[in-house]
Amino acid sequence: MNLYQNRFAEKLREALTAVSPTIGIVLLLSFTIAPIPPSILLLFLFGAVMLIVGMMFFTLGAELAMTPVGERIGTRIAQSRKLGIVLLLCFVLGFVITISEPDLQVLAEQVPSVPNAVLIVAVAAGVGVFLMIAMLRMLFSKTLRMLLIIFYLLIFALAFFVPDDFISVAFDSGGVTTGPMTVPFIMALGVGFAAVRSDKHAEDDSFGLVALCSIGPILAVLLLGLLYHPENTAYTPSEIPVIRDSVELWKYFATGLPQYIEEIAISLLPIVAFFAVFQIISLKMKGRALLKVVIGILYTYVGLVLFLTGVNVGFMPAGNYLGETIAGLSYRWVLIPIGMVIGYFIVKAEPAVYVLKEQVEEITSGAISGEAMGLSLSLGVAASIGLAMIRVLTGISIFWFILPGYFIALCLSFFVPKIFTAIAFDSGGVASGPMTATFLLPFAMGACQAVGGNIVQDAFGVVAMVAMTPLITIQVMGAIYKYRSEHTEDSGPVEASYLDTWADDDIIEL
C-alpha cells in the first residue's frame, strides 16, 4: 500500500510540474492583454484539476499495464516465427489500437467532408498496414531512413493531387492518431520484438514504430481526398458556453463526463478483448502479475476519462477565446511569441511524452536523458506553434512549411546516429497529442476566425506542425552528441554522458 501511495505522490508531482506552467500562462494573459469571462475561466480551472488527476492515473496505469502487456505481446508475436501470423496479428493490433484512440474521434468530428465511420476505419487500416511494415523492418533489419524517404516522397507526390481542404487534415491525422492509447502499446511492442533479436542493433530498431505508424493515417486521408469531392467543407466552430454560477459549472462537466465514460469504455474494450484472448491462448499470466495489469487498465481508464473530460470541456473554450481575443488586438503579431511560449510548456503535459521519455531512458540505459528529450521537444513545439501562428495571420499554405521541414529532417538522418533518427520521428507523433488537439488547435481556430481566415486551410495543420519540428530538434541533438564523441576520442577517458562510442553507431553498447 505504501508503495502505491509513493507512486501516486510521484505521478501527482509530475502532473503538477507539467501542467502548472500552462495554467500560469493562461491566468497571466487573462489578467493582462486577453481578459477571459469568469465562466470560461472557471471551466478552464476546473478542467485543469481534472487534467492533473487524470494524468496522474493515466501515467501510472500505462506503467503498470500498457507497457508490460505490449512488451509481452510483442515478444510472443515475434517468437511465433510464422510470418503470416505475425503480419496478421500486427494488422489487427494496429487497427484495434487506433480505433481505441480518443483523439481520432475528435479529428473525425472536425472533418465535415468525410463520414466519421469512413474516416476512422480508413485511418485505422492505415495504421494497421504500417505496423506490419514496421515489424517487417525489425524482423529483416532494414534501415528506417530509406523507408521514411520513400513514403514521404509518396505522400508529397500524392498531396499535389488532393484538394487543399484535405491536406492540413491529412497531416494532422498522422499526429493525432499516435496519442495516449497508441504510443504506450506500439513502443512497448517494439521493445518486445527487439528482445527476440540477438544482434547488437536490435534495441536501436525498437524505435521507429510510431514514426512509420504516423505515415499510414496521412496516406489514408489523402486517398480519401481523391475519392470525396464535397461541395461544402466549411468548419463551424462550437459556441463558447456561458456559466453563471458554480452549480451550472458542475452541470456542464456532469453533462460531458458520462459521454467520456462511455467513449473511453468503448475505446478500451478492443484492447482489453485482445489482451484477454492473448492471455488465454499464449501469455498465461498468473497471480500478482495479472492483478497488476488489471489494476493498471483500471487506472488507465479512470485517467483517460478525467483527462479528456478536463481538456475537452475545460480547455477547448479557453483556447478558442484566448486565440480570438489576442488576434483581435491592434498588435496581433504578439500571437506568435505567445503561441511559442504556450507550445514550449504545453508539450510537457502530453501523457504520451512521459511514456516516450521513460522508454528512451530505459532502452539507452540513461545515455539519452529524459531532460534532454523534454528540452528538445519543448523547443521543437515552440518553433512549430510560432510557425503555425504565422500561417494563421498570413494564410500561407502549409506546403511552404511542411515540405522544407521534412526535407531538412530527412537530410539530417544521413548525419546523425540511427537511433536519434528513429527517436526523432517517433517523437513527432508523440508530441502531437490531446493537449495539442484540444487547446492549441482551438487557439489557432479562434485566432483564424478573428482575422477572417479559412479555418480548414489555415488553422488546421497545427498538429502537423507540432509533429514536424521535433524531427529536426532531436536530430540536431544527435548531431551535437556525435560531434562531442568524435572530438573526445583522442582526449582520454570521458564520462558516459558524452556517448563516446556513438561514432560507429553502437549507440546502446556503452
Mean pLDDT across the stretch 333-354? 86
**pLDDT band with cut points at 50, 70 and 90 for residue 232:** low
Residue of higher predicted confidence among 47 and 117 = 47
Q: Is this prediction's pTM over 0.85?
A: no
The answer to whether residue 500 scores a pLDDT higher than 50 is: no
State which H helix or E strand residue 293 sits in.
helix 287-309
Residue of higher predicted confidence among 331 and 70 = 331
Mean pLDDT across the stretch 37-65? 86
The answer to whether residue 212 scores a pLDDT higher than 80 is: yes
The predicted pLDDT at position 154 comes to 94
Task: For 27-160, list the strands marked E by DSSP.
Answer: none
Q: Taking Cα atoms as reference points, which of 391, 363, 393, 375 lies closest to residue 470? A: 375
Mean pLDDT across the stretch 100-112? 68
Quick count: other Cβ atoms within 10 Å of Cβ 342?
25
Mean pLDDT across the stretch 99-126? 76
**pLDDT band with cut points at 50, 70 and 90 for residue 322:** very high
The answer to whether residue 159 scores a pLDDT higher than 80 is: yes
Where helices occur in 140-201 by DSSP H, the ranges are 144-159, 164-176, 182-196
Distance CA 413, CA 354 (A): 24
Mean pLDDT across the stretch 340-345? 91
The predicted pLDDT at position 412 comes to 92
The predicted pLDDT at position 484 comes to 76
Mean pLDDT across the stretch 172-180? 77
Distance CA 86, CA 84 (A): 5
The answer to whether residue 104 scores a pLDDT higher than 70 is: yes
Per the prediction, the chain carries an average pLDDT of 80
The predicted pLDDT at position 442 comes to 85
Cα–Cα distances (Å) from 500 to 370, 423, 440, 467, in that order, read 19, 19, 39, 30
DSSP states along 241-289 = P---SHHHHHHHHHHHHHHHHHHHHHHHHHHHHHHHHHIIIII---HHH
CB burial string 353-375: b at 16+ within 10 A, e below: bbbbbbbbbebbeebbebebbbe
Residue of higher predicted confidence among 506 and 94 = 94
For 460, the grid coordinates are: 488546421
**pLDDT band with cut points at 50, 70 and 90 for residue 505:** very low
For 400, the grid coordinates are: 511552404
